[in-house]
Amino acid sequence: MLVSVGTMIYLAVLSLMDARRRAISAWLLLLGSILAAALAGWLLWQGTVHWEELLFGAVPGVILLAIAGMTGSAGCGDGIVLLQVSLLLLMERAVIAFGVSMVVMGAFATVILLKNKKNKDLRLPYLPFLWLGCLVSLCS
């Protein structure tokens, strides 16, 4: 429970930064990465999860990082945050969070583009949608 609340607070802070500035502080990414790795190690040590669960849980984050690296259409910070979160949510919840965030973001972008047809180079912040996806996955 504490991990879920902490993750949602961390995502809320990053979402506000991403929505306002379209950028995330590097020190927050580093801090989040260190905490996610430490927590994953602690969960492994406690026997709460197995390394396979952590490995497969990281898949959505790795996919987004690969997309960011290959296309440049997604930010690397978004991929790093998704990787951090997916380590903590594990596979099932990480896939739900990623899927919900992409579907809601796609629907939102479609509505905006239909209302304002001349702005086809729309860049939306991803982390508010990831926050919503994590909320849905934690409540399911």
Secondary structure string (H, E, C) spanning 9-28: HHHHHHHHHHHHHCCCCHHH
What is the rounded average pLDDT of the residues 3-17? 88
Tell me the residue type at 98: F
- Token pair 């508010």: residue: 128
Residue range of the domain that includes 34:
2-139
Rounded to whole angstroms, the Cα distance separating 61 from 126 reads: 13
Residue 119 confidence (pLDDT): 65
Confidence check: pLDDT of 103 > 90: yes
Rounded to whole angstroms, the Cα distance separating 35 from 55 reads: 17
Higher pLDDT: 114 or 34? It is 34
Rounded to whole angstroms, the Cα distance separating 89 from 137 reads: 9
Would you say the pTM of this structure is higher than 0.75?
Answer: yes
Confidence check: pLDDT of 28 > 80: yes
Cα 112 to Cα 78, 103, 132: the distances in Å are 21, 14, 18
pLDDT tens string 37-76? 898 888 889 888 888 888 887 887 788 788 877 876 667 8
pLDDT tens string 119-134? 666 778 889 999 999 9
Higher pLDDT: 120 or 2? It is 2
Q: How many domains does the chain have?
A: 1
Residue 73 confidence (pLDDT): 64
DSSP code at position 124: -
